Copies of this chain bind each other. A is one copy, B any other.
Amino acid sequence: MSAARPTIVDVAARSGVSTATVSRVLSGTHGASADARQRVLAAAEALDYRPSAVARALKLRSTRTLGLVVTDIENPFFPQLVSAIEAEATARGYGLLLCNTTDDGDRELAALHLLVDRRVDGIIVASSRAMRRHGARMRDIGVPVVLVNSGGVNGLAGIETAQRRGARLAADHLLGLGHRQIAHVTAPRSNAAAAARVAGVRDAVRAVAGARLEVLAGDSRVDGGARAVVDLPAGVTGVVCYNDLTAIGVMRGLHSSGRRVPDDVSVIGFDDIDMARWTVPPLTTIRQPTDRMGRLAVERAAGESVVTASVELEPELVIRESTRPRGGERRD
């Protein structure tokens, strides 16, 4: 229907200058008389000309687009992270090529290929999983690769919340409230942060005389949390969850089995997803600074230097109503 998009040649012809001049004024570089500048701008405007980023990319060897591979975009923590990444990328004039892998090794490799083929300037891997599979390959693809939400591996830079400290923060909160029988609902070892969070909880429990810890299996989703409640030892009054989704499941399970939160059991999550404010009761949790994670990730991925130093960001305890002093009664 509409004619083919105008090219730089069309603009040059219409404004009576060479393509070189058009390029110069449009790229904002030096040169170009005020007069030429006017005419070029007018012509471009009139033709609704938009320079082809693909031609430019071929010439410049830079696409000004970043690749983003996410393991599970349906886990609410990720949209939050993706949102931060997208905002920062856009602000810097970068496009974002999105790939969702659902933790499938084949799809992960396919995603890497898709991104490399399209010559992205950098790749951000937002993963909850270990990404051990193609780690080595990723290091050698010639563009910056940054792992966000998992530690650095294989010489790749990682940007993550201090997992162990965060988990310790959570457990310390419960311990500080007087709870002594603590349970931790973890996630499969394939989740990069699982081990560190278990360690953090253990650190806290070990530091308090008389405190006991029970570690239960979960799956990083609501379902696993709900199921873990079945195996919850009788005396437990405080549960540290791998993440908020798990915590929601634990609260759900507790509710089904007639126990009240926080009256009978205190529950604390990790991530601070949006929904955490809206659970019944609102969930106490450890907030991950997704904005800073996103900003940093883009900064690194867009940078020309391949930085391999990992970064740990500080988690923050957000106290809401799912935790309470042990034995503390509701005071209506």
Q: Do A97 and B99 have beta carbons less than 8 Å apart?
A: no
- Known contacts being A100-B83, A117-B50, is A280 close to B278, with CB within 8 Å? no
> Which B residues are CB-close (under 8 A) to A2?
140, 142
For residue A87, which residues in chain B have a CB less than 8 angstroms away from its CB?
A: 100
Chain B min CB distance to A92 (Å): 12
A275-B275 contact in complex given A79-B78, A118-B53, C-beta closer than 8 Å: yes
Q: How far is B249's CA from A65's CA once the two chains are assembled, in angstroms?
A: 38
In the complex, the count of this chain's copies comes to: 2
Name A's interface SS. Answer: helix
Q: Which one, B78, B98, B119, B306, contacts A52 given CB within 8 A? A: B119
A77-115 vs B: 1/0 string, CB under 8 Å? 011101100110010000111111000000100110111
A274-308 residues at the B interface, CB under 8 angstroms: 274-275, 277-278, 280, 306
Q: How far is the CB of A139 from chain B (nearest CB, A)?
A: 9
Q: Is the CB of B98 within 8 A of A65?
A: no
CB within 8 Å of B: which of A193-242? 222, 226
Q: At the interface, yes or no: A73 with Cβ under 8 Å from chain B? A: yes
Is A68 in contact with chain B by the CB < 8 A criterion? yes
Pairs across A and B, CB under 8 Å, 8 listed = A50-B117, A52-B119, A53-B118, A54-B63, A95-B114, A96-B97, A96-B99, A248-B275
- Which A residues have a C-beta under 8 Å from some C-beta of B? 1-2, 4-5, 50-55, 57-58, 63, 65, 68, 73-74, 76, 78-80, 82-83, 86-87, 90, 95-100, 107, 110-111, 113-119, 140, 142, 222, 226, 248-249, 252, 255, 274-275, 277-278, 280, 306
A50-B117, A54-B119, A248-B278 are known; give 12 further A-B pairs, CB within 8 A.
A1-B142, A52-B58, A58-B58, A65-B118, A82-B100, A90-B99, A90-B100, A90-B110, A95-B115, A95-B118, A222-B275, A255-B280
